[in-house]
Chains A and B, each alone.
Chain A
Amino acid sequence: MAAPEVHHLFHNPIADHSFSADRKTLAIARDTTVELYGKVGSAFKLKDELKGHDKTVTSVDIAPNSGRIVSCSQDRNALVWEPSPQGVYKPTLVLLRINRAATFVRWSPSETKFAVGSGDRVIAVCYFEEENDWWVSKHLKKPIRSTITTVAWHPNSVLLAAGSTDAHARVFSSFIKGVDARPDPGVWGERLPFNTVCGEYMNNSAGWVHAVAFSPSGDALAFAAHDSSITVVYPSGPDLPPKAIISISTQLLPFMSLIWNGEAEIIAAGYDCEAFRFKGGVQGWQLSGTLEAKGRPGLGEGREESALNMFKQMDLKGKTKDDTQLKTVHQNTITTLRPFESSGAAVKKFSSSGVDGRIVIWHT
């Protein structure tokens, strides 16, 4: 396995990151701005700052085809940044109509809509209204009881999964007439008017849901919760109980983000500062190991210790080993995982970002 590519951008937490389709531009949510980094050689250099929010930016997403960037913030606003041919971004405010912080935003695969999760117990599904030249929103409200922490889109751009602090992962229809094509009936339902609840799931111990993701086919849903578990749901059809709900409790700390790699593998990462692989299918899932290459050189044990150095360390710090570094690549919680390079449903490379200000590109 090739070594991961590490970019240490700064010493601040990265709330969210997103790469452009050509992987040459990287958008980072840092404090109240969205920073754009461009690839120069093998490194990422700061090239633009998008200033428009006046509170912490919580999430950012680049639409791969149109190049539009959407960002949302604790100031209760979402902005769509439209690129101009000169490379300047022009912000447009979105009418979210929420009274609490916006927590999470993702473009639909069709790029005509995006969903904003919020602390106001609603998900604002936003779309562009031609006649008013304005981004407007419709609210998914029932039966959400608490803050939405995360959302994920189904490949058909109509179904939306959302995780919440009321310990439920839910699947909604976000069908908007005139914007979406009528979806084909599938395992989640046949007729899907707006705000249809297609599924509502929780695991046994009911931790907060941190991450949700549809499998590449869209026929299975995985979610990670604060009880250090991931749960995979295989629905069997509308109004029928699901074929299987598989919950794996781990010995690890909770996961903050997860992605599917094909239909039989999930990669999850979180408070343990490293990514883990799960393998399985409808019969069952298990944790198959970490993606971190153990015992990499240059991390303490490989370094030669001279006697002088040893006594110097003992004198300065009262110990011989410098144990201030974690043995993982990330030095703090990983908050976001995203696919970086895919072929079909399989992910060849994925990127991770976290509280330590690093962006790491991993080979699966």
Chain B
Amino acid sequence: MSIIQQHTAASLSDAWRTINIDALEEDSSVNFDTSTLHPALPEISEADVRQINTQVRQLLRGGDAEGALRGSLEMPVYNGSDLAKETHLHTVIEVLQSIKASEMTPMLQRIYGTPGGSECLDVLMKYLYKGMAATSAADGSSSAPRTPTRMTPQQTGFSQVGGRPGGANESTGGAMSVLLSWHEKVVEVAGLGCIGRCMTDWRKV
């Protein structure tokens, strides 16, 4: 085999393009902890979350839905355990589900008008997206193992003979529709900027 052939074979291969050259450079972003770029957030424990939950429930029982919504949004769990984050998500969704559709827009407008209100709606938007992700994931995981094992068409939920889909499915659908109508209302009040902020923000709920 001649040298020329070896050379062409080597240069024809694209393997060298897949070398991650950033990994070889010591001060590149791959070798750097990007979380140190911003100041650390206070950690919120599960006990704190449960406390907020009871306060919010009290407000809800007292009929102060707006206070409950504000209360649940003013202390988002940015830095906390998964369980704390999950619990707080449930608190927020509980509040959202207890508010009537006709009250949504006026309430959001009132919150948006107060100082710090824009931030509150950004947090709400984050919980809406998290809620949608949670409900659709729960939906997906329950139906995923079913599909390959049972091949009968009745189980898909589309067939008229099979009737309505199962009860669990129905409740996630209900939660999703609440979240979607809130999403629409929040965008009306806080604009598309709110969605953009949700996507760019490094503080995840």
Binding site for B on A (CB under 8 A): 121, 145-146, 166-168, 202, 204-208, 225-229, 249-254
| Chain B interface SS verdict (over half) | helix
Q: Are A205 and B37 in contact (CB under 8 A)?
A: no
In the assembled complex, B192 has its CB within 8 A of some CB on chain A: yes
Q: Are A250 and B191 in contact (CB under 8 A)?
A: yes
A-B contacts, 15 of them at CB < 8 A, read A121-B27, A145-B32, A145-B37, A146-B29, A204-B203, A205-B200, A226-B200, A227-B196, A227-B197, A249-B118, A249-B122, A250-B191, A250-B193, A252-B191, A252-B193
With the chains together, A200 CA to B89 CA distance in Å?
Answer: 34
When A207-B200, A226-B200 are in contact, do A145 and B192 touch as well, CB less than 8 Å?
A: no
Q: Are B196 and A254 in contact (CB under 8 A)?
A: yes
Q: Are B200 and A208 in contact (CB under 8 A)?
A: yes
Q: Are A145 and B119 in contact (CB under 8 A)?
A: no
The residues of B that contact A226 with a CB separation of less than 8 Å are 196, 200
Q: Are B201 and A205 in contact (CB under 8 A)?
A: yes
With the chains together, A146 CA to B122 CA distance in Å?
Answer: 26
With the chains together, A227 CA to B44 CA distance in Å?
Answer: 25
A206-B202, A207-B196, A227-B201 known; 5 new pairs, CB 8 Å cut-off, are A121-B29, A167-B38, A205-B197, A207-B200, A249-B118
With the chains together, A225 CA to B202 CA distance in Å?
Answer: 13
Binary interface profile of B, 29-64, with partner A (CB < 8 Å = 1, else 0)?
100101001100000000000000000000000000
Closest CB of chain A to B107's CB: distance in Å?
17
When A208-B200, A228-B196 are in contact, do A251 and B32 touch as well, CB less than 8 Å?
A: no
In the assembled complex, B194 has its CB within 8 A of some CB on chain A: yes
Chain B residues 174-204 with CB under 8 Å of chain A are 190-194, 196-197, 200-203
The winner among A167, A207, A208, A249 for most chain B CB atoms within 10 A is: A249
With the chains together, A205 CA to B126 CA distance in Å?
Answer: 12
Q: Are A253 and B32 in contact (CB under 8 A)?
A: no
Q: Are A228 and B29 in contact (CB under 8 A)?
A: no
